[in-house]
Structure 1
Amino acid sequence: MSLQAKLDAFKADFEAGKPPYNVPPSVIEVMHRATAELVASSIAEKALKAGDKAPLFTLNDPDGHPVSSADLLAKGPLVISFYRGVWCPYCNMELQALETAFPAFRELGANLIAISPQTAANSRKSVRQNTLSFPILSDTHNDVSAAFGLRFTLPDYLVELYTNLKNDLPSFNGDDSWTLPMPGRFIVGQDGVILYAEVNPDYTRRPEPEDMLAILQKATQSAVA
């Protein structure tokens, strides 16, 4: 089953209020409103695209070790996935799919990292919960996601909903700004130019990891040539 098919199946059960979710329709309506407004804002159109230069960054892994994008790019192409956090089931399913694809990425000489605004403790939970072997990095205040054009501020009514649902983003992220990244997937070539960019303001939609392989293969061939 494809990643998107799994996401669609989860969404159908979640929005139908099936156990164990038991989510009332009013909550779903608020979530739909927030997504529709984010789509309508056209913020995703301002994110970095293929052909743009990717900003360089250094972020810490869950153990506090700095990971440099420049160092990773010196070794090969880099796949970057921005996600919302371990509290997001759609993100966890995406991380699991990326883990499955990770050996194929490595065979093509590419590295993979995932970036979220959450604290180191929650990043460690991401690694444990999803049995990950690639680096999870903490983007404090969503500064790197902002550099890629992904950061947005949650509207007040969504903050109220999250608070009522005990989804305390300031606690998860160690930051009281109530900002998140739109989910984004990028492939950056060794010259720092973005080869692929997929950004979607609808967090229930994610690209297939397998779609990265042809682009990585082409990048590897270009580097050899």
Structure 2
Amino acid sequence: MSGLIDSEAGSELFASYEAELKLVQADLNQKLDQIPELAGEPRKAAISHAERSLEEAKEILDQMRIEKQNIPAPAKTKVNTRFRNYQTDIDGLGARLKRASSDRQALFGDRYTDDPTGDAHVEQRQQLLSGTDRLERSSGRLRDSQRVALQTEEIGANTLADLNRQRDTIMHTRDTLGESEGYTDRSIKTLRSMARRMATNRVITIAIITVLVLLIIAVIASKFR
């Protein structure tokens, strides 16, 4: 019973991650389509947003990879196929983002230099924001997992309570059947006793009638002597 509950919960959580991934994937596609039209700071900001979306998509994929282990065997093949397709799509989006990020002239515009230490404070700020966003998303998914776990625990508790009530009903029915069998045995014994008394009474009645008939015959015979 617990295995069935876990499978259902796993399927439900996988589906929610799948829907969330589709939204993030659509948002990432839109951002990547906008990047070629931008330059300088707007392009950097768009790439930073796209990187955060890509990280979020990868985190969702990791969660889906874990949850798909709880999918029932008959449906696991289709789920694995969909998961591989999502992974391929995300990898392709990552490659597009990498190409856009490698175009430093478009990225930095007139301020482009070969100095790798330029704008270090901006990159650190973007990394900090990206880490904060990832932490918030991970916290949200953790809350979702906890909610599903609590729902699963509640379902399990209700199931156990139902089983206990059914067990009590079965025990009560068995006791009632035992009492009924006792009543039946006593009734059979009573009927047998009544049958024996009736047979005895019948024999006594026949004997009395026989004696009376013999007496009558004797009286009649004595009158004719």
TM-score, normalised with respect to structure 2:
0.23
- Which structure ranks higher in relative contact order (CA pairs < 8 Å, sequence separation ≥ 6)? 1
Choose between structure 1 and 2: higher helix proportion: 2
Q: Which has the larger radius of gyration?
A: 2
Choose between structure 1 and 2: higher strand proportion: 1
